[in-house]
C-alpha cells in the first residue's frame, strides 16, 4: 500500500505521487480522502472558498485560516472517531495575489492539523502542488 511508505503525519509536495493512487490508497486504508483542485483560484479568498467547497465545509465557514484549522481539526474531532486523512491540495496559486508568504501560511494550517491529529495517533497526510 502506498501510504505505508509515507510518514503518517506530514505535509509534503505531491512530487511522484499520483492523485488517483493516493485516493485508492486512502480508500484501501479506510481513511478520508479530501481533494481540492485550486487551478482557478487567484487570491487567498479564492483558495479558502475552493477548499471549503471541495471539502464540504459548513455554510458558516468563516473563510479565514483560523476557521480552516477549526474545520480540519476540532469540528471533525467532535464528530466522532476518525480513521485518518489523505488530503490533496492541487494547483495552489503561485502569483502576486497569493505569494510565497500566503502559501506558507496556508500550508502551516495543514502542518498544524497534522500535528493535532498526530497527537491523537490518527494519520493525517497532506500533499500539495503549485500552479
Express as a percent the part of the chain with pLDDT over 70.
99
Measured CA to CA, the distance from residue 131 to residue 14 in angstroms comes to 12
Segment (H or E) for 126: strand 124-130
Q: Write the pLDDT tens digit of every residue in 28-56.
A: 999 999 999 999 999 999 999 999 999 99
pLDDT at 1 over 70: no
Measured CA to CA, the distance from residue 22 to residue 20 in angstroms comes to 5
Sheet containing strand 85-92, edge to edge, reads 9-13, 124-130, 85-92, 32-37
Q: Write the pLDDT tens digit of every residue in 85-102.
A: 999 999 999 999 999 999
pLDDT of residue 118: 97
User: 2 vs 22, which has greater pLDDT?
Assistant: 22
Give me the residue label for grid cell 501510504: 3
Domain annotation for the chain: domains and CATH numbers: 2-123 (3.30.370.10)
Confidence of residue 79 (pLDDT cuts 50, 70, 90): confident
Q: Are 88 and 19 in contact (CB under 8 A)?
A: yes
Amino acid at each position: 500500500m502506498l501510504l505505508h511508505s509515507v510518514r503518517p503525519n506530514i505535509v509534503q509536495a505531491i512530487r511522484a505521487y499520483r492523485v488517483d493512487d493516493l485516493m485508492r490508497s486512502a480508500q484501501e486504508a479506510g481513511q478520508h480522502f479530501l481533494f481540492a483542485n485550486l487551478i482557478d483560484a487567484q487570491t487567498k479568498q479564492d483558495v479558502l472558498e475552493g477548499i471549503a467547497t471541495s471539502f464540504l465545509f459548513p455554510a458558516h465557514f468563516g473563510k479565514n485560516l483560523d476557521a480552516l484549522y477549526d474545520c480540519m481539526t476540532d469540528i471533525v474531532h467532535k464528530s466522532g472517531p476518525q480513521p485518518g486523512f489523505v488530503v490533496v491540495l492541487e494547483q495552489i496559486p503561485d502569483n502576486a495575489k497569493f505569494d510565497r508568504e500566503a502559501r506558507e501560511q496556508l500550508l502551516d494550517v495543514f502542518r498544524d492539523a497534522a500535528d493535532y491529529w498526530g497527537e491523537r495517533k490518527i494519520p493525517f497526510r497532506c500533499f500539495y502542488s503549485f500552479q
